[in-house]
Amino acid sequence: MNTKILMLSKKNNIFCDFAKAILLSYFSEKETITISGVVNTSIDEGLCMYKPDYIISFLSPWVIPKTLLNSAKIAAINFHPGSPDYPGTGCYNFAIYEKAIKYGITCHHMNEKVDTGDIIKVRYFDMAPNESVESLKLKSMNHMLLCFTEIIEMIYNNQDLPASQEKWKRKAFTRKQLDELCQIDLKNDDENEINLKIRATYYPGAKGPYVRINNNNFILQADGREPII
């Protein structure tokens, strides 16, 4: 019997395109449905009628609803671009801000709550002393594709997914917490703190570090170039 896979990912993202190519190198187009979307849009819950064996989320812009998760006959899994120390939003940013010496990516089963499901596999790597969000993202994407390949190969060979002994270390970071990290307090933040916040939140083309004065946000001007990824 053919394995049915539903893959959910981000639109116009080169690493999602790489992941789709990897998936299709193992499974035919008849065995897969790949859905791409953008942030702040809704997912079609009618996809649960497909009743896939596996749902695979790779940088999906959606929080997958419970009805769709429950439609997976074998497993619904996600590839998170952060280690179990950094669930949720802003994983790169908080790792840099906390001066972590190692980082990683996590493959895990999906629950209704984001980044809480049992962990399948973690890939760790060292962080550079002056890591930027850009460089950390690039490293993470490469490791995530390697992990994705390993998991897809297991599924193709009808192997059981591994069960890691690792657990999530904290509650998932929220968008509000990331926004608070981006805010520079000129009264209370010293020079070292300001420089650290800038390094931890600056990314070309995205809202990053800012100063709030009289209810107005003044955002650090980006350098105008496209990010490397």
Span 146-165, pLDDT tens digits = 999 999 999 999 999 999 99
Q: Is residue 166 part of a domain?
A: no
pLDDT of 80 reads: 98
Rounded CA gap, 155 and 31, in Å? 13
Q: Is residue 226 part of a domain?
A: no
Q: Is the dihedral of CA 66, 94, 108, 155 positive or negative?
A: positive
| 213 confidence band (pLDDT: 50, 70, 90) | confident
Rounded CA gap, 149 and 151, in Å? 6
Rounded CA gap, 195 and 132, in Å? 12
Number of independent structural domains in the chain:
2
pLDDT of 1 reads: 54
54 and 136 belong to one structural domain: yes
Cβ(55)–Cβ(64) under 8 Å?
yes
49 and 119 belong to one structural domain: yes
Q: Is residue 164 part of a domain?
A: no
**Domain of 27?**
5-156
pLDDT of 31 reads: 95
pLDDT of 158 reads: 95
* Range of lowest pLDDT (19-23, 42-46, 160-164): 42-46
What b/e readout covers 61-88, taking b as 16+ CB neighbours within 10 angstroms? bbebeeebbebbeebbbbbbbbbbbbbb
151 and 184 belong to one structural domain: no
Tokens 């998932």 belong to 172
* Sequence letter at residue 108: H
Cβ(49)–Cβ(67) under 8 Å?
no
Q: Is residue 167 part of a domain?
A: no
**CATH number of the domain bearing residue 88:** 3.40.50.170
pLDDT of 222 reads: 64
Q: Is residue 163 part of a domain?
A: no
The string of DSSP letters for 117-138 reads SPEEEEEEEEPPTT--HHHHHH
| 224 confidence band (pLDDT: 50, 70, 90) | low
Rounded CA gap, 228 and 194, in Å? 24
Rounded CA gap, 141 and 146, in Å? 9
Question: Residue 29 region, left (φ>0) first, then alpha (ψ -120 to 50), else beta?
Answer: alpha
* pLDDT tens-digit map of 45-67: 788 888 999 999 999 999 999 99
Pairing, β 5-10 against β 32-37: parallel
Tokens 């020079």 belong to 191
Per the prediction, the chain carries an average pLDDT of: 93
Rounded CA gap, 100 and 86, in Å? 10
pLDDT of 119 reads: 98
CA angle 131, 132, 134 (to 5 degrees): 130
* pLDDT tens-digit map of 82-132: 999 999 999 999 999 999 999 999 999 999 999 999 999 999 999 999 999
Does pLDDT of 212 surpass 90?
A: no
129 and 49 belong to one structural domain: yes
Does pLDDT of 225 surpass 80?
A: no
Considering the entire predicted model, what is its pTM? 0.93
